[in-house]
Amino acid sequence: MNQPHKEHAELAEKFNADEDRVNWHDETLWWIRQKRDKIVWQLPEWEQLRETASQIKHNVLSHLSEYLLEFEANAQKNGVTVHWAANGEEHNKIVYKLLKEQGVTQMVKSKSMLTEECHLNEFLEKQGIEVVDTDLGERIVQLAKEPPSHIVLPCIHWKKEEIGELFHKFLGTPEGNADPQFLTHAARLALRQDFLTRKVALTGVNFAVAETGEFVVCTNEGNADMGAHLSNVHIASMGIEKLIPKRKHLGVFLRLLTRSATGQPITTYSSHFSKPRPGQQMHIILVDNGRSVHLGKEEFRNSLKCIRCGACMNTCPVYRRSGGHSYHNAVAGPIGSILAPNFDMRKNADLPFASTLCGSCSNVCPVKIDIHDQLYKWRQVLAKEGHTPKAKTAAMKVMAVTLSKPGIFTVAGKMGRIVMRNVPGLVNNKLNPWFKQREMPEAPKESFREWYQKNRKK
C-alpha cells in the first residue's frame, strides 16, 4: 500500500519482459473471445438481448434510489439484515463487526470484486482475521500474495507448471506435478476442511432483484453455495448498481453474462438467496464507494451498467499484451480504465490512455456500454484538469495550433520535407526498426497543394 505508484506503461513493460508469457496470455484470451463469438452467433436475438439489458440498466440508474429502498424493504421482509456503506472503509468495518459478534477469527469468501476494490482481505488480516478465498483462481493468487489480474479469470497470467510449484509449497502436492485435474482435486480437498469449519461465509452479488429482495450469485465451482449453506452467517457484499427491477429480467442477464464471459450458455450454478434458513443470519451490505459520484457524471454514468463479464478484457489488444496488473486497480482492462479515474483522477490518469480506441470493447459489451467513447472523453477531462504529462500536453497544444492554422500547417509541412530530404539517413535508414517491417517511399518533392496550384489551369 505504501509502495510508490507505478503507471501502466512501466508495469506493462515489466510484464512484456517475458515474451513467451505475453504471447501465451494474448492467445489464451483471444481463444476465449472466439468461444464467445461462436456461442453468440447461435442466438439470432443476441442484439435484442443486449439492447434490452442496456435499457433495463438505464432504467435502474435513472431510478436507483427508489429501487434501492424497494430492495431494502423486501429483503428485510424476508428476514435479511441490510447494511449501508458509503465507502470501502465502512464496508470493511461492518464485516469486521459481524465477525466480532460471532467471536470468530476465520472466514471463507467466494469471488467478490467489490471486496477487492475495498481491500477487505488486507484490512481483516490486520485485525487478526484469516480469510480463505474459495474460488480456485482467487485461491491461487491469494497463496501467491497477488491481486487477481482478471475479473473472471483471476490467475489467467499463471501457467499450470507454476501453479504446481505453488501447490507443492502450500498444499504439499508432489513436486513437479502440473496436471490441472490433479491440482484441482488437491485444492478441493484442502478447501473442504475450511468449508466445514468456518462459521461465517462472504459472497459477492451478481444481481439483486428489487421486486423480491433476493440476490443471485453465479459461479462455476459451487464454492459460494458451499460456503453459504454450511455457515451460520452469510454476508453478501453488493455494489448499489447491481440491482434489476424484477425477477423476470434475470433471464435477459443470465443469458448474456456467461456467454460474454467464457463462451458458456450459462454458469454451472446460478444460486438465488432470498432469506436465511432457520437459525442462520443473512446480511447484505449495500456499498456506494464512489458510485453515486459516478452516477452524477452524465457522460460516464453508462459504465455503471457493467455486469463484470470481462468480455472487454478478452478482446482488448492492450490488455491482452500488458496483463491485468499493469492497470494497478481491482478492475483492469477497458472497463477498469473508465471506472478508476472516478475514484482517483490523478492516480489513474494514465489508464484512459492505455487503449487504441479501436472500439472492440464496445462491440462485445453485453450491456452496450460505449467504452471506447468514454475512454476518449476521459482523456479530454484529464487534459483539461491538468493530469496529463507536461510534455504530452505541450505537444498536443502545438499540434492543435498547427492543424487549426492553414498557414502554419503549410510552413510546417515544407520544413518537414526539407528535413526529410536533407538529414542523412533519416528516411531510408535501414537500421531503423520501422524498415525491418516495411519499405518507406521517398519523401515527395512537392506538397499536394503545390502540385494542385501548378496544374489546376491545365
Alpha-carbon gap, residue 151 to 311, rounded angstroms: 10
pLDDT at 304 over 50: yes
Mean pLDDT across the stretch 409-426? 70
pLDDT at 441 over 70: no
pLDDT band, residue 434 (cuts 50/70/90): very low
* Same domain, yes or no: 284 and 413: no
Domain region containing 436:
392-455
Half-sphere exposure of 276 (CA within 13 A, CB side): 21
* Same domain, yes or no: 52 and 185: yes
Mean pLDDT across the stretch 289-310? 94
Domain edge (last residue) among 252, 268, 289: 289
Per residue in 362-391, pLDDT (tens digit) is 999 999 999 999 999 999 999 888 887 777
With respect to residue 350, please indicate whether it lies within any of the assigned structural domains.
no
Mean pLDDT across the stretch 57-83? 97
Asked whether 146 and 324 are in contact (CB, 8 A), the reply is no
Q: What is the model's pLDDT at position 365?
A: 97
Residues ≥6 apart with Cβ < 8 Å to 402: 408, 409, 412
Q: And the C-alpha cell for 152?
A: 473472471
* Same domain, yes or no: 398 and 271: no
Q: What is the model's pLDDT at position 75?
A: 98
* Same domain, yes or no: 106 and 238: yes
Domain edge (last residue) among 259, 274, 289: 289
For the chain, what is the domain count?
2
Model's pTM, two decimal places? Answer: 0.85
Asked whether 168 and 177 are in contact (CB, 8 A), the reply is yes
With respect to residue 79, please indicate whether it lies within any of the assigned structural domains.
yes
With respect to residue 426, please indicate whether it lies within any of the assigned structural domains.
yes
Strand 81-85: give its sheet, edge to edge: 81-85, 281-287, 233-239, 200-203, 106-109, 130-133
Per residue in 219-264, pLDDT (tens digit) is 999 899 999 999 999 999 999 999 999 999 999 999 999 999 999 9
Beta bridge partners of 109: 133, 202
pLDDT band, residue 395 (cuts 50/70/90): confident
Q: What is the model's pLDDT at position 2?
A: 46
- In this prediction, what percent of the chain has a pLDDT beyond 90? 78
CA-nearest of 208, 199, 261, 219 to 134 is: 219
Q: What is the model's pLDDT at position 433?
A: 46
pLDDT at 82 over 70: yes
Among the listed ranges 63-72, 150-159, 378-387, which one has the minimum average pLDDT value? 378-387
Mean pLDDT across the stretch 256-279? 94
Residues ≥6 apart with Cβ < 8 Å to 100: none
Length of the chain (residues)? 458
User: Other C-beta atoms within 10 Å of 258: how many?
Assistant: 22
With respect to residue 149, please indicate whether it lies within any of the assigned structural domains.
yes
With respect to residue 415, please indicate whether it lies within any of the assigned structural domains.
yes
* Same domain, yes or no: 401 and 278: no
Here the CATH number for the domain that contains residue 203 is 3.40.50.10420
Alpha-carbon gap, residue 357 to 363, rounded angstroms: 12
* Same domain, yes or no: 54 and 172: yes
With respect to residue 213, please indicate whether it lies within any of the assigned structural domains.
yes
Domain edge (last residue) among 254, 289, 324: 289
Q: What is the model's pLDDT at position 431?
A: 46
pLDDT at 427 over 60: no
CA-nearest of 140, 145, 144, 135 to 155 is: 140
Asked whether 253 and 51 are in contact (CB, 8 A), the reply is no
pLDDT at 324 over 70: yes
Mean pLDDT for the chain overall: 90
Helices 180-197 and 160-170 pack at an angle, to 10 degrees, of 40
pLDDT band, residue 292 (cuts 50/70/90): very high
pLDDT at 426 over 70: no
Mean pLDDT across the stretch 78-82? 97
Q: Tell which wins on pLDDT, 419 or 55.
A: 55
pLDDT at 400 over 90: no
CA-nearest of 173, 179, 187, 175 to 141 is: 187
Per residue in 183-228, pLDDT (tens digit) is 999 999 999 988 988 999 999 999 999 999 999 999 999 899 999 9
pLDDT at 450 over 50: yes
pLDDT band, residue 337 (cuts 50/70/90): very high
With respect to residue 19, please indicate whether it lies within any of the assigned structural domains.
no
pLDDT at 456 over 70: no
Q: Tell which wins on pLDDT, 346 or 260.
A: 260
Alpha-carbon gap, residue 339 to 213, rounded angstroms: 27
CA-nearest of 126, 336, 85, 122 to 235 is: 85
pLDDT band, residue 437 (cuts 50/70/90): very low
With respect to residue 230, please indicate whether it lies within any of the assigned structural domains.
yes
pLDDT band, residue 447 (cuts 50/70/90): low
